[in-house]
Amino acid sequence: MSKRITLAWTGASGLAYGLRLLECLLRAGCRVDLLISQAARIVARQELDITLPGDSAELVALLNARFAGHNGEIRVYGEKEWFAPAASGSNPADGMVICPCTMGSLAAIAHGLADNLIERAADVMLKEKRLLILVPRETPFSLIHLRNMTQLAEAGATILPANPGFYYRPETVAQVVDFIVARILDQLSIANTLLPRWGGDV
């Protein structure tokens, strides 16, 4: 049975991670509930020259065309769509990833705020003791950031900063992105061959 994953894009730099993760989830046959903040749409234009349509059906069509041939399913929800499955503990996903995750979103989740669908969905995952992965893309971290991350880790979340390794000698930005995406997929227990395994054949 395919997994249902909630994927959220917030306004942190590094939307390339989130876009590549979406592709990999769809190609793995997952059903993806994609939650998008308004700030993420701005980042998509700034960093990737991609305009994400405000209409959900148009965006689904654009993403399906971009990742043609996948065997997954994608549904898109805005920040205030409270009837989305992710908003209720009666219908939790198998896992949720916020990639990239702003420090503002991280702080809100750490303190139990739920002013938008992304924050509410994360709150649901924590209270239902389901897998929640936050991928912050910020540097340096302030003491406030670190305390918020500690609080979330204590509550059961996985903090997976977008800090790629270079021991396998990446030659392209895409390979750097894949390092982080591969680690996220590993946490979700989704098989992938994005990178050579340490100690295995290269």
SS3 159: strand
Percent with pLDDT over 70 in the chain = 98
Per-residue pLDDT at 100: 98
Distance CA 136, CA 114 (A): 18
C-alpha dist (Å) from residue 169 to 15, 29, 137, 183: 22, 30, 21, 16
pLDDT in tens, 80-111: 999 999 999 998 899 999 999 999 999 999 99
Per-residue pLDDT at 8: 98
Per-residue pLDDT at 201: 58
pLDDT in tens, 144-196: 999 999 999 999 999 999 999 999 899 999 999 999 999 999 999 999 999 88
CB neighbour burial string for 175-200, b if at least 16 within 10 angstroms, e if fewer: ebbbbbbbbbbeebebebebbeeeee
Per-residue pLDDT at 92: 85
pLDDT in tens, 15-44: 999 999 999 999 999 999 999 999 999 999
Structural domains of the chain, ranges and CATH numbers in brackets:
4-187 (3.40.50.1950)
Per-residue pLDDT at 2: 87
